[in-house]
Amino acid sequence: MFEEAFADEQHTICYSVKANSSLAILRLLAKMGAGFDIVSGGELERVRRASKAALKRVVFSGVGKQEWEIDAALQADILIFNVESEAELQLLAARAEALQVRARFALRVNPDVFAETHPYISTGLREHKFGIDIKIARRIYRSAAKYKWLDAAGVSVHIGSQIRAVDPFAAALARVAALVDELRSDGLNIRYVDAGGGLGIEYKDGEFDADDEVVRYAEALRGSAKQLKVHLLLEPGRFIVAQAGGLLTQVLYVKQNGSKTFVVTDAGMNDLIRPSLYQAHHEVLPVQQARSGAVSRMVDVVGPVCESGDFFARDRSLTSLKGGDLVLLLDAGAYGMSLSSNYNTRTRPAEVLVDGKEHLLIRRRERLSDLFAAEKLPRSKRSQANK
């Protein structure tokens, strides 16, 4: 849908790897011609393992790139670095010179545009850690001209995630367009504009037309994009995979505490942390058809993790459930597995890719032995002395 909506613009869809970094999904997208937005050396390696050819379509974002990560990206000849500070730009210049590799870069500018979303995933205001104040960006671009191994190839912007209105995207790109005009008047060959990602989905049980959302998003960006005549980089992640995935879990117990009914499942906040971290809503659907005569009641759907914040839904009306029933948490394809952990020494679930009636295991269920593979018990001084 993105390809169709932006067909009139030079563009590359750079899937945001952090949304879901499964190698199988990355390979599937690479075969479709996608580029990738990465934020770590580990994600760079994931793209390499999924498709070496796709390395040339990689955009490296992130506020804290380390020297080894920059070196790996330079050696991979990625498309562009989104630089987030003057200090990072100096490091990039030094590493490019050391490796004798020309580094294409864009400054990620902070346009100070407000987008209505959760404060933890809003990134476009001055008080956020991301980006460079757009008011000082021109000076930094000028100072970068003294570095032989730097190529000021673009400008980048990203104002946040799970944004449902398109006006903030248009406002941010308009401010970027004004900066690009200034930079070109300074003689810089700006040929890429990274518009970031952040287009939101509907997590609740409401109307949602994905095609229409993308069309509106494209229309919001098109004016500035046409004016600039640049190669547009777009970084959807959640929008592509969120609604394609769900978390399947089994009810362990149903318990009553006073007036509260708790449905305890075998999945927990370590498997899907979004409700605990962002107070995010995920629809909860029983897999089996409702039993004859079953009634709905208000329940909290919670996990077994030893935290009061371990919940998936609170005061949710669900058809009566019992131990052994299966329930599906919808829209877990993005920031489900990628944000999962082994908290409470819990193993993570398997991942299964489903295509119609066909299914393929793309990540096996973790074993307890996997959790201890990297750990070592130190020998005591006494045992060493007795050897």
What CA–CA distance (Å, rounded) separates 329 from 286? 9
Structure token digits, residue 122? 């809003």
Q: How far apart are CA 234 and CA 158, in angstroms?
A: 10
**In terms of C-beta density within 10 A (0-12 exposed, 13-18 middle, 19 or more buried), how is residue 319 classed?**
middle
The residue annotated as part of the active site, out of 7, 87, 295, 306, is 306
7, 159, 179, 287 from 113: Cα distances, Å: 27, 7, 15, 42
Cα–Cα distance for residue pair 136/286, rounded to 1 Å? 53
Question: Which residue bears the tokens 């209105």?
Answer: 165
CA-based angle 128:134:137, to the nearest 5?
A: 120
HSE-CB of 219 using CA atoms within 13 angstroms: 9
Count of CB atoms situated within 10 Å of the CB of 151: 18
Q: How far from chain centre, in Å, is Cα 306?
A: 27
Give the start-end residues of each E strand in 68-219. Answer: 80-83, 103-110, 132-133, 150-156, 192-194
Q: Is 14 a catalytic residue?
A: no
Pair 54, 44: CB distance under 8 Å: no
Give the residue from 290, 279, 289 showing the smallest Cα distance to 313.
Answer: 279
d(CA 235, CA 238): 9
Question: What residue ranges in the chain does DSSP mark as E strands?
Answer: 11-16, 35-38, 58-60, 80-83, 103-110, 132-133, 150-156, 192-194, 231-234, 247-257, 260-265, 284-286, 296-302, 311-319, 326-329, 351-355, 358-363
Catalytic machinery residues:
306
